[in-house]
Structure formats: structure tokens, C-alpha cells
Amino acid sequence: MAEFNETDQTPTVDPKTPNLGDSTTSSQPKPEQITTIDVAVPIPDVGPQLQVVVEEFILKSGSDDEEVRTAATNELRDFIEHEEIGITTLLVVVKYAHEVKNVDLLDAFCERVADLIKDKKVVEVREIFGIVNDFTPGEEQALRYEHPWAFED
């Protein structure tokens, strides 16, 4: 699977990035900001657009206002639905969300992964995710013996 990472190698000058900078320099979250400790962990290269979306989401998801959080989730889901996120990038952002323990962020992207799995055959899923089958022929045979229907076309 030739999926080239769609990262922009040059650093971006992004008006929102200063927030990231702020929280990495201070160890205590400032009370007047809605910065969460999460943003202290830098987001890996996921492309400038997605980076902005994720950063914004993390900030808003830390809000005390439920409406703000709900709106943020809806915005994120909208973005995920309408923008093509490459499979490699998806892996990066899923791992990141897990690492920073942002439940809502992880949830939104796991939903996307689930959508990619639904109604697909084994070989199709392997192709989409670039997964190598590491079952030995013997092991596969055992699985097949138990439920041959999984391999029906």
C-alpha cells in the first residue's frame, strides 16, 4: 500500500499555534485559559489542516460549558466525515488521542476507523489498513476449520 504521509515538511505559521507554545512553557494550566494539560503534548505531523482541527478540539473539549463541548464534537465529526484523512494519518491521530487520554477525540476517530471496517471482507480490511497476515497457514487452517463461512466470497 503506497500511502505517502501528507505532511507539510515546512513549519507552519499558524495564529493558533501560540496556544500550544503557551502551555508547553508553563507546567501549571493558567486558570483563565481553557487549556488542558493535553495540549502540552505536541501533536505529531498530521498535516496543517488536521492539526488545527485537533488543537481546537482539544481546547474546547476542556471547557466547562457542555454546549461548547458538544459543538466541538459535532464540528470534529463533520470534519472527519467530509475530509479525506489518509490511513496513515488516521493511525497517527488515533494513537495521539489515546496517548493524551482525550476520550472524545479518540472516540471520534475510532468511529471513522469503524466505518472503514464495516461490511468489508477480511482481505479488503487488510488492504485498506496495510496489515500483513501473521497467521501461519496451520493457524489459518484452524480458524477456517472453526468457521469456514468467514472466508466465503
Partner 1 sequence: MEEEAIIRKWEDLDIDVLVKIYQKIDIFDLTSGVAEICKTWHHAACDPMLWHTLDLSVMSSNYIRTPLEPYVYVDGPSDEKLTKILKISLNLSRGSIKTLIFNINLYVHDEQLTYTAERCPNLKRLVLPAWNRIKKTGICKAIKMWKDLESLTMPSIETPLYFMEEVSKNCKNFSELKIMGPCDIFLVNTLIRCVPNLKVLSLRCSVVYLDALILILDGLKKLNVLNISHCIIVDAPPPDATIKVVTKLDDSVLEKGSRLSEFLTCMDDECIMCQRTRADEGLLRWYRYEQGLWKQDEVKSLAV
Q: How many CA atoms lie within 13 A of 29 on its CB side?
A: 13
**How crowded is residue 106: how many other Cβ atoms within 10 Å of its Cβ?**
18
Residues of this chain, 20-49, that bind partner 1 according to CB under 8 A:
44-45
Q: What is the grid cell recorded at 104?
A: 472524545
Who contacts 15 (Cβ-Cβ below 8 Å, separation ≥6)?
none
User: Considering only 25-33, 53-61, 65-73, 87-95, which stretch makes contact with partner 1 by CB under 8 A?
Assistant: 87-95
Q: Which is nearer to partner 1, 57 or 96 (CB)?
A: 96
Smallest separation (angstroms) from partner 1 to the CB of 28: 29
Q: What is the DSSP string of 113-146?
A: HHHHHTT--HHHHHHHHT------HHHHHHHHHH
Q: Does 117 bind partner 1 (CB under 8 A)?
A: yes
Q: Which stretch binds partner 1 (CB under 8 A): 26-34, 61-69, 72-80, 110-118?
A: 110-118
CA distance linking residue 72 with residue 44, whole number of Å = 21
Site of interaction with partner 1 (CB under 8 A): 4-5, 7, 44-45, 87-88, 91-92, 94-95, 98, 106-107, 110-111, 113-114, 117-122, 125-126, 129-135, 140, 143, 146-147, 149-151
